Structure 1
Amino acid sequence: MKKTRIAIVGLGMAVTPHARGLVDLSDEIEVVHAFAPSEERRRAFGEKFPFPLCDSLDTILNDDSVEAVAVFTPANTHRDIAIRCAEAGKHVLMEKPLDITTARAEDLVAACRKAGVKLGVVLQHRFRPAGLKAAEILASGELGAIVGCSTVIRLWRPQSYYDEPGRGSFARDGGGVLISQGIHTLDLMLSLAGPIAEVTGFATTTPVHSMETEDMVCAAARFANGAFGTIDATTAAYPGFLEEIALTCDKGTALLRGTELLVQFQDGRKIAIEPDRSAGGAGADPMAFPHDYHRAVMADFVEAIRTGREPKVTGEEALKVHRLIDALIEAGKSGGSVRVAGAQA
């Protein structure tokens, strides 16, 4: 089988799990170029991974043999890089979030759609075995209708994390705990429980951190299917805890905790998936997780290119969680109830 030829753009902290996955997938994927504008970052990356380095994005865009570009740069650069890649006919795998605002994210998605290229988004929680099994059980109808959904994201980031220039700012990251950390769990929640129609709640920056954006959000939600829910997200919970999604259904309950799943039916049956024992990035080291799920994202993206199907997480899918985050932040500012754009009641 001919290898899919891809290029990497962005060689900072986020690239490591992807690069490890690409090493694993070397029988299927050939990395043709790895680019960062910083010579120091290129050198450091080259010492760890066996991929050819280049010093210009134009080198990638002008290389007709490159089929796809994986973008792992800061969020505020995503739209412009993706548009250039799409216009050059390259498929795009984009690290979350799509960009720092939903309007910019919509531009990115529209450009890829117009160019006819695939756009995949790195929201890897959907690829965990526990999440996949939960989706399968819910789709089968075994648990019945979802009547409630509680999502808890209690993470820890020390102040040193936010002391990095631009981190936790609107200009570089687009927000705080929701768009930078919670987006993964919120996306998984939406994929399981369906869209949220309306939210109300609070968002703040606690005294634990000195930063521009929110590090704590507490909200109530009404799902489009009539279910009620809660969202509790923070990066101020020392030492950091595994995220949880509890789905209350009329025939039982499904509890996702990190990479663990426990489903308990009212008839006495149980289904369980054991955790992978990783820290999950909940604590001070945001990269303390295995690269298995990033590898799965990459494998799915490449298969989508080869077969012509859509990736598991498309740009349109990612826009759903962006719009939910917008509504949560607006509710936190206004103190009122806010409808989620695009969701049907």
Structure 2
Amino acid sequence: MRVAIIGAGVAAPPHLRSLHDLRDRAEVAWAWGRDLQRLAAAGLPAGTRTTTRLEDVLEDQSVGAALVLTPPHTHLEIVERLAAAGKHVLVEKPVELTLARAEALVAACARHGVRLAVMLQHRASPAALQLADLIRSGSLGALTGASATVRWWRPQSYYDQPGRGTMARDGGGVLMTQAIHTLDLLLHLVGTPQRVLGLAATSPVHRMETEDQAAALLHWENGAIGVLDATTAAYPGYPERIALNFTQGTATLEAGALVVEQPGAETLRVGQAQASGSGANLMGFDHAGHRAVIADFLDAIAERRAPLTDGASALAVQRLIEAVLRSSTEGVAVRW
């Protein structure tokens, strides 16, 4: 599969490392960006053609797919053009700035019959895959409670960069930019709650437009209750954690390591804890999750199926994030 890289900024390195690992399955034919010097410094594979004209990618019929790694507010227009040209798309999270724009992007890919995946790599970890299988099997019973904790750290210098933590470029703060991965995995595992009561604010730790701390109560249709706790003001940054209580046991995922405990059964342990960019080094994580998502994306194209991180499924986490922020603003619970 000949692929194009659209944007070569801060999100690009784990994608490029993954494509290097998958070089027997994918060839990087083009890299598009607004600055050729920046593209030249991005560490692109030998032989990659660079351009500032998106038309070069759109008109190359040998290119079957594109990885869109530009800021969120640019995704809709770029993906609409790629989809119209028949290119399958993998887009960096979030899908778009707002739920409405994200829905329009998903609809564009469906309309043109191309696959759409989103880089929500937590779903693809071995621990998450095994936990999803366990939940589907019914061996853990029914969900009774859940918690998702993302207590990370970002220095002020991070938010001093142009566009960081703004609605215009990022579409939000800690929820949309950092906690989205953990929240997406929570929803992927146990479904979307029917009621959300949230609070969000900017702490005295940061000068920024959007929220650096958020909390919410979550209520599922079967009566299960959950809590969300997310921040980038917790120095020095701690591993993200999902804890799920079921009628027949408890499952805990922390930084990619799974522990499942059930009465009368041996404790199940899957995976090892991994760095996840929870501190000042935001790119301090292994690229195995990115590689797994890209490999699945290539498989999905070949097998004519939906990817593991299909764009339509990625809308759920944006609905939840918008519900938390709306609840905080209006002071009411948001229901579906």
Q: Please state whether the residue corresponding to 2:207 is helix, strand or coil.
A: coil
* Match runs of 1:57-206 below 5 Å: 57-206=54-203
Matched to 1:313, the amino acid is T
Runs of 4+ in 1 over 4 A off after TM superposition: none
Does structure 2 conserve the Cα–Cα contact (< 8 Å) formed by 1:149 and 1:193? no
Q: Which residue of 2 aligns with 1:20?
A: 17
Structure 1 residues 29 and 172: alpha-carbon distance in aligned structure 2, compared to 1, 3 A threshold: same
RMSD after superposition: 1.1
Matched to 1:323, the amino acid is R
Cα distance in 2, alignment partners of residues 154 and 50 from structure 1: 39
Q: Please state whether the residue corresponding to 2:123 is helix, strand or coil.
A: helix
Q: Please state whether the residue corresponding to 2:258 is helix, strand or coil.
A: strand
Does structure 2 conserve the Cα–Cα contact (< 8 Å) formed by 1:255 and 1:262? yes
Does structure 2 conserve the Cα–Cα contact (< 8 Å) formed by 1:18 and 1:294? yes
Q: CA deviation at 1:334?
A: 1.6
Cα distance in 2, alignment partners of residues 309 and 167 from structure 1: 35
Q: Please state whether the residue corresponding to 1:31 is helix, strand or coil.
A: strand
Does structure 1 conserve the Cα–Cα contact (< 8 Å) formed by 2:9 and 2:69? yes
Q: Which residue of 1 aligns with 2:41?
A: 44
Q: Which residue of 2 aligns with 1:261?
A: 258
Does structure 2 conserve the Cα–Cα contact (< 8 Å) formed by 1:194 and 1:224? no
Quote the sequence identity (%): 50
Unaligned ranges ≥5, structure 2:
none
Does structure 2 conserve the Cα–Cα contact (< 8 Å) formed by 1:143 and 1:250? yes
Q: Please state whether the residue corresponding to 1:20 is helix, strand or coil.
A: helix
Q: Please state whether the residue corresponding to 2:74 is helix, strand or coil.
A: helix
Q: CA deviation at 1:225?
A: 3.0
Structure 1 residues 10-30: Cα deviation after superposition (integer angstroms, max 9, x where no partner): 100101001000001011111
Q: Please state whether the residue corresponding to 1:67 is helix, strand or coil.
A: strand
Q: CA deviation at 1:226?
A: 2.3
Q: Please state whether the residue corresponding to 1:200 is helix, strand or coil.
A: strand
Cα distance in 2, alignment partners of residues 214 and 97 from structure 1: 16
TM-score, structure 1 as length reference: 0.95
Cα distance in 2, alignment partners of residues 189 and 105 from structure 1: 20
Structure 1 residues 107-128: Cα deviation after superposition (integer angstroms, max 9, x where no partner): 1011110001111111000011
Q: CA deviation at 1:138?
A: 1.1
Does structure 1 conserve the Cα–Cα contact (< 8 Å) formed by 2:196 and 2:217? yes
Q: Please state whether the residue corresponding to 2:63 is helix, strand or coil.
A: coil
Q: Please state whether the residue corresponding to 1:190 is helix, strand or coil.
A: helix
TM-score, structure 2 as length reference: 0.98
Cα distance in 2, alignment partners of residues 294 and 189 from structure 1: 18
Does structure 1 conserve the Cα–Cα contact (< 8 Å) formed by 2:126 and 2:271? no
Establish whether residue 237 from structure 1 lines up as the match of residue 208 from structure 2: no
Structure 1 residues 124-177: Cα deviation after superposition (integer angstroms, max 9, x where no partner): 000111111111111111111111011101010100000000110000000000
Establish whether residue 334 from structure 1 lines up as the match of residue 316 from structure 2: no
Cα distance in 2, alignment partners of residues 225 and 38 from structure 1: 52
Does structure 2 conserve the Cα–Cα contact (< 8 Å) formed by 1:168 and 1:176? yes
Q: Which residue of 1 aligns with 2:316?
A: 320
Cα distance in 2, alignment partners of residues 299 and 279 from structure 1: 21
Cα distance in 1, alignment partners of residues 47 and 213 from structure 2: 39
Paired residue total? 335
Does structure 2 conserve the Cα–Cα contact (< 8 Å) formed by 1:194 and 1:225? no
Does structure 1 conserve the Cα–Cα contact (< 8 Å) formed by 2:36 and 2:50? no
Q: Which residue of 1 aligns with 2:49?
A: 53
